Amino acid sequence: MTTAMTGPEFMTADAPTPALLVAEDLVKRFGPTEALRGASVSIQSGEIVAIMGPSGSGKSTLLHCLAGILLSDSGTALFAGRDLRRMSEKERSRLRLSEFGFVFQHGQLVPDLPGEENVALPLLLRGENRRKAIDTAREWLHALDVVEAIGKLPGELSGGQAQRVALARAFAIQPRVIFADEPTGSLDSLSGEAVMELLTAAARDQGTTVIIVTHDARVAAYANREVVVRDGRVTAGMAL
C-alpha cells in the first residue's frame, strides 16, 4: 500500500478519495504475545471488506484497533483522518456511540430488555427522545424482517432472530462503519446467509462501510474484497 500525507487525512496514491479507515504499521502486544506485528490496511468509505486469516492471526485485534476498542502499542489507526490513539477515551466512546455500529458472534443483546429496547438502547445512550428512539428501533426491526422480536426478550428468540436484532441495533444509529466480528459464527448455514444478505443489502442501501472478521469464505464472498491477516500482518489485499 502506498500512502502519502496530504492535509488532515491520508490519501491513497492511486485513489483520489481519502480512505475512511487506515491502519499503518500497527503493533499490539498482549503480554509476551505479539498479536499485531506491523499490520497495515486502508478502507474506503462504502466498502464492505472481509478480514480473513487463521485463528490467532490477529484479525479480531486488527478490527478492535480500527474501532478504537483496543489501542495499538505503536503505529497509527485513523478514522476519517483522526488518529484514534490521540483521542481521549471520552472522545473514542463518543465516536463508538455515534459513528460505529458493532455486531458480534453472539448478538450480545441485553437479556432483560425486549428487542425494540435493545435496538433503541444506543440511541437512548446518546440522549435521544425515548419515543423517537423506539420508533427508529421498530423501523429497523421491520427493515431487517424481524418484527416478531419487538416485544420479545433475547432468550425467546432464535439465534438468527437475535442476530437480526443485533444488526438493527447496529444500523439504528446510522453509523458510518459497522464492525462485525464473526457475525454468523453461531448460526446455521441458512440463518447465517440470511443475516449476511440483510447486513450487506442494508449497508449498500445506507452507504455504510462494513468490516467483517470471518474465517468463513462463504461469508467473505458477501464482501467487495478481502484482506488476509497472517502472523499479525496483512499479507494480501491491503488496499484496492
Provide the binding-site residues for another protein, judged by CB under 8 A.
Answer: 52, 54, 193, 197, 216-218, 220-223, 226, 228, 230, 235-237
- Residue 201 Cβ, how far from another protein at the closest point, in Å? 9
- Residue 60 Cβ, how far from another protein at the closest point, in Å? 16
Those residues whose C-beta lies under 8 Å from the C-beta of residue 189, and which sit 6 or more positions away, are 218
Question: Which cell numbers hold the place of 88?
Answer: 481521549
Compute φ and ψ for 157, nearest 5 degrees: -105, 155
- Residue 227 Cβ, how far from another protein at the closest point, in Å? 10
Q: Which is nearer to another protein, 15 or 221 (CB)?
A: 221
How far, CA to CA in Å, does 119 sit from each of 123, 165, 181?
8, 7, 18
**Which residue in this structure is represented by grid cell 455504510?**
208
Q: Which is nearer to another protein, 29 or 230 (CB)?
A: 230
Question: Which cell numbers hold the place of 145?
Answer: 424482517
Q: Which is nearer to another protein, 109 or 210 (CB)?
A: 210
Question: Which cell numbers hold the place of 98?
Answer: 455515534
Compute φ and ψ for 176, nearest 5 degrees: -80, -25
- Residue 8 Cβ, how far from another protein at the closest point, in Å? 33
**Which residue in this structure is represented by grid cell 435521544?**
128
Question: Which cell numbers hold the place of 216?
Answer: 468463513
Taking only Cα atoms into account, the Rg of the chain, rounded to an integer number of angstroms, comes to 18
Q: Which is nearer to another protein, 77 or 198 (CB)?
A: 198
Q: Which is nearer to another protein, 148 or 216 (CB)?
A: 216
